[in-house]
Structure 1
Amino acid sequence: MLLDTSKFYESCVKCGKCIPNCTIHKINADETTSPRGFLDLISAVNSHELSLDQNAKKIFESCFLCTNCVEACPSHIRVDSAIEAVRFEIAHKFGIAWYKRLAFYLLSKRKVLDFIARLGFVFQSCAFKIQDQENQNSGMRAKFSLPLIKKGRFLASLSKKSFLSENPEFIDNGGSKSIGFFVGCLSNYSYTDTAKAVLKIAKELRLNVDLMKDQVCCGAPQYFTGDFKRVEDLAKKNIAYFEKKLENLEAIIVPEATCSAMLNVDYEHFFKLQKDELWAKRAKKVASKIYLATKYFHDFTPLKELLEKRDKNELLITYHDPCHARKMQGVFKEPRALLNANFKLIELSEQNTCCGFGGVSMQLENYEKSLKVGLLKAKDIEKTKASVVSAECSACRMQISNALEQNGTKAVFKSPLELIASSL
């Protein structure tokens, strides 16, 4: 195994404080699918007491990697890192399904993906009912069951043009500072209003924006699936590109919690898994200049003061904390402070719970489990009676939008950046 996981399961004292916070354990209350259960199984695999078979594969792929257990653990044992390491072994032994390999190939080839996305935009209405109304969540619902997609499932629709292809490389807003913009795949191809909102905010703040058009996918879907070779290629391309760009940029901002966490935290973890200290140091250095968008706008610009001068909006909103924002990057006060400046914000009763997205494997092969978690979130949103639910993560957006639709909850999903831009 790439990582010596013995330090994780040997440190676990079986206190059980992780269990009430575990996302998969809430819907599948079995010791096997609990953080300490995962660690015991990894120990058994390493000592050859348990073979890494299809049953073990299914168990290890049921973890949402939400890191609730890491936060709850008195010793902060990195159960997520141990599971990521064993998923690499699973990918190595069983291979990666063809449809995942195809998706990962497309994510690494933007010109090809641009063409496929344009083609998909033209033909998506054949299999999906497109929904794009003010009082509904924007997206598309499957008209009939498709391979890996059940009838009625709600997904993000494709835009006619990707965000990067319809905007110039550099946007001069007449400011003295320039920032880089890492858009993320979902905001580039589907939730383009989020990316456009960043440009609107930057214009108001007189921040020049470099769209860094040679950026590549952050590699998060590949990382959580065990495709480490592709992660290495993407990570090295991005790090080298960021190093060059940061010679002339104050910072790089990201409107997506998952992408931001991958660039900020997981690149360093990944190269340490690979025992590559040189690239781990380079990843850590660039990470010091990479910020989740609301974090940067809150800490380094007068955006909050600008919003406070606007008329108060009476729209009632609630906020979901993406796991990759709050738990991995400690970002949760900043988006609330910006939203509170102009909106009426009501908190969820369960603030610190995962929405249930869980990555590619969870969405495609464990959809029923993912939906169960999502419906818990939808019911919590419904209790607030909020008109809008917000989160700085397009993966959460896709998951929560589907849960809201399946639960019949009336709330609409908007990125905090879209809400902020609408106030300006």
Structure 2
Amino acid sequence: MKNILYVIHSGTEGGTFLTNNDLMQNVKESYNVFLLASELNSLKLFKLENDKLILIKKYSRLKWSVKNFHDSWMNYVYFDILNNFKINLVHIRHLLNHSFDLPQIAKKLDIPVVLSFHDFYFICPFYVLLNENNQYCKGICNNNDINCYNPLKSLNDLNSKKIILKWRQEVSYLFKYVDFFITTSNFVKELFLSIYSDIDENRFRVIEHGRDFPKLSDTYFEYPSKKNPIKILCPANHLDLMKGSEVIKSIKKEDKENKLEFHFLGTCFDDVDKYGINHGRYKRDNFYKKVKEIKPSFIGVFSIWPETFCHTITEAWSCGIPVVGSNIGVIKDRILKEKGGWLIDIYNPKKAYNDLLKISNNLNEYQKIQKNISQMKFKTTSEMALEYLEVYNFLIS
């Protein structure tokens, strides 16, 4: 079997790892799977054996800086891995905590490179596209030098507006050594094409995330009623500013008569748990148990950044629960496309609150949306993997 190297920006947890692991577990019959995960002070190489990731080599280093686009030490590490482990294909899922050298080194060794857009890192190092006012910027910088919203401490030494021209020049150069681009939605694809017009659209494919859900026979929601507060469940392992903590607080402040009851799953930040009921952290495996205990009428997805897929929406629909979500990015696109919920204006809390009450009072519309959801079919992880394998096999055939 041939050897594939996946490249991510963190160890063995977090959203990128989980979605990448779904893919790795489904291609292991076709490829020997290696994983290169980068932390601030080290790179770790794993091999997938018997469904488990085994650490086979650790490369220690000085602290990483986003300003170092190219790094001779990382050049050595990349070459060492590609050469010594006879890698036949590289799939980059993220390059945070990496340098930009890997695609070029792979090309020198005649190894094809696939690059996924997990977020907007290759548009801006502050990868959530929020400006200094915490509003979605569409990848277009304004003319002042006020730093944008910074999602990560390791980027604290950076002003995104001062580096953005250099950043995109370096990214454009990196893209020359990429053989195929993949992302999870047309929205993300079109945004990248609008900024990097040199990308070959024939080598750019949309593959939505697959998920494996259990067959559910129970009811996990309750119909909204004027007799009881309307329960809106907001699941997010980190319910912070980016995930809509301030949006939720602003909406709840409009709720003078306590008609809405927010419920939270995950770690809450910004004191948002004072505006509802916190049910603690959850893992994929116990999501349904938690939801069944709460029985919300809606799942709320109030992210202020334009998410690139949003697994929470898929999880909500797998429970048969309508979504009320942000009117930006993929959240907006998926809700409109699938007719699986309603959009709210995250920049206008008073209007959002009134719209939530209107939605809750229209039982016929709720039942119509819920019926749409009950007829949805979700792509499995094995179906997703087949689409990736088509790309892999095309590149190394």
User: TM-score over 0.5 for the alignment?
Assistant: no
Q: Which has the larger radius of gyration?
A: 2
Q: Which has the higher contact order (CA 8 A, sep 6+)?
A: 1
The TM-score with structure 2 as length reference comes to: 0.28
The TM-score with structure 1 as length reference comes to: 0.27
